[in-house]
Amino acid sequence: MKKTDIKSLTLGELSVLLGELGQPVFRARQIYKWLHQKMVCSFDEMSDLSLNLREQLKELFYINAVSIQRKLVSKLDGTTKYLMKLSDGQLIEAVLMRYKYGNSVCISTQAGCRMGCKFCASTLRGRERNLLPSEMLDEIMAVARDTGERVSHAVLMGIGEPLDNYDNVVRFLELLSSPDGMNMSLRHVSLSTCGLVDRIYDLMELNLGLTLSISLHAPNDEIRSRIMPVNRKWKVDELLDACRRYFDKTGRRISFEYTLIDGVNDSERCARELASKLRGMNCHVNLIPVNNVRETAFRKSSQLSIRQFQEVLTKQKINATIRRELGADINAACGQLRYEQAES
């Protein structure tokens, strides 16, 4: 019989299954806390359960845990990049960032990615598979176990397209914010998407309170379709309409990611076009110098053009900041560690 992934179950589901084993109601909560608060990786660590029950649990369930394969720690700011292995050998990446307001972990949502953005290392070898809710949770737990520190924030901005793994991501968010579990406020969570418009509308209906980040990277279809194939399906205007509706419904300000690529999307004209598209929208623009990826021809914009781009936006009353580069000395762009490991 196939064992059940116990860490992907909600407390309600676990209660039903334990009820079927004749266990009292409080038992499910006790086990749920071992998994989600004490973050144990084996049933043997659940010391207040009888040996008999632990054996029974081992027969029916397994605990999904990732293992840390490699770790790069920035000497500049403590940012830590982890290469992690899933139970079937797939590799993913997670990054711990330390801020004044707390520790934030950037997690992967898929092994690989099929979105094909031209500047991104994560998509070079396509998508292998979706991550399970338990695997996304354990990326955060592995960092907490490794550092012994609390993780208060999460960003879904690692390898993969979260909205291409919609059901598992939504369940992960439910588990992450469960009061009997990690109890992370979804106000402390950002989800970044390349713009799967149909799923943005689905997410809007759930009104989860998280911050939606849109990887925009271009002000018009001509440039965006060239660097982001997803734009051939959903055009810039459709995407921005969805964002406006998302804000109207949820009251959550949209955050736009704009990666500046030398000679591609960093001209003053692009900045003006972007400003006119975003005018009147309650949003924030995050300007990011593109990380050079060896396999692509794209290069970083100069500091000067980045500052000029920001100035144009600011003058037009569009809130724009330049992303502080954390962990500059371990600078491996999204998906590069995984890619290099697979190639070597």
As annotated, the active-site residues are 93, 334
Nearer residue to ligand SAH within complex by CB, 90 or 215:
215
Q: Does 165 bind ligand SAH (CB under 6 A)?
A: no
Q: Does 79 bind ligand SAH (CB under 6 A)?
A: no
- By C-alpha distance, which of 203, 142, 153 is closest to 7? 142
**Cα-based torsion angle of the residue sequence 313, 317, 319, 320 in order, rounded to the nearest 10 degrees:** 20
Exposure class string for 39-52: b at 16+ Cβ within 10 A, else e: bbbebeebeebeee
Residues between 215 and 274 that touch ligand SAH (CB under 6 A): 215, 257, 259
Q: Residue 211 CB, nearest distance to ligand SAH (Å)?
A: 12
CA distance 239 to 245: 10
Number of residues binding to ligand SAH, judged by CB under 6 A? 18
What is the DSSP code (8-state) at residue 253?
Answer: P
As separate numbers, helices (DSSP H) first and strands (DSSP E) second, the chain gives 11, 14
Q: Residue 257 CB, nearest distance to ligand SAH (Å)?
A: 4
Task: For Cα atoms 278, 282, 288, give the angle at the middle one, nearest 5 degrees.
Answer: 65
Nearer residue to ligand SAH within complex by CB, 6 or 326:
326
Q: Residue 121 CB, nearest distance to ligand SAH (Å)?
A: 6
Q: Residue 101 CB, nearest distance to ligand SAH (Å)?
A: 21
Q: Residue 332 CB, nearest distance to ligand SAH (Å)?
A: 10
Q: Residue 147 CB, nearest distance to ligand SAH (Å)?
A: 23
Nearer residue to ligand SAH within complex by CB, 133 or 162:
162
Stretch that binds ligand SAH, among 7-15, 24-32, 117-125, 172-180 (CB under 6 A): 117-125
Q: Helices 197-206 and 236-250 sit at what angle, rounded to 10 degrees?
A: 0
CA distance 223 to 216: 11
Q: Does 192 bind ligand SAH (CB under 6 A)?
A: yes
Residue choice 17, 41, 72, 333 for contact with ligand SAH (CB under 6 A): 333
Handedness of CA 105, 175, 201, 233 (dihedral sign): positive
Task: For Cα atoms 170, 173, 175, give the angle at the middle one, nearest 5 degrees.
Answer: 115
At 343, which helix (H) or strand (E)? helix 336-343
Give the DSSP letter string of 173-202: HHHHT-TTTT---GGGEEEEES--HHHHHH
Residue choice 157, 227, 240, 243 for contact with ligand SAH (CB under 6 A): 157
Nearer residue to ligand SAH within complex by CB, 36 or 224:
224
Stretch that binds ligand SAH, among 56-64, 87-95, 116-124, 264-272 (CB under 6 A): 116-124
Nearer residue to ligand SAH within complex by CB, 80 or 259:
259
Nearer residue to ligand SAH within complex by CB, 18 or 97:
97
DSSP-assigned beta bridge partners for residue 55: none
Q: Does 104 bind ligand SAH (CB under 6 A)?
A: no
Write the CB contacts of 117 (distance below 8 Å, at least 6 apart in sequence).
Answer: 123, 194, 215, 217, 227, 228, 229, 230
Residue choice 8, 104, 193, 301 for contact with ligand SAH (CB under 6 A): 193
CA distance 319 to 322: 11
Residue choice 124, 334, 338, 339 for contact with ligand SAH (CB under 6 A): 334
Residues between 274 and 313 that touch ligand SAH (CB under 6 A): 288, 290-291, 293
Q: Which residues bind ligand SAH (CB under 6 A)?
A: 115, 117, 119-120, 157, 161, 192-194, 215, 257, 259, 288, 290-291, 293, 333-334
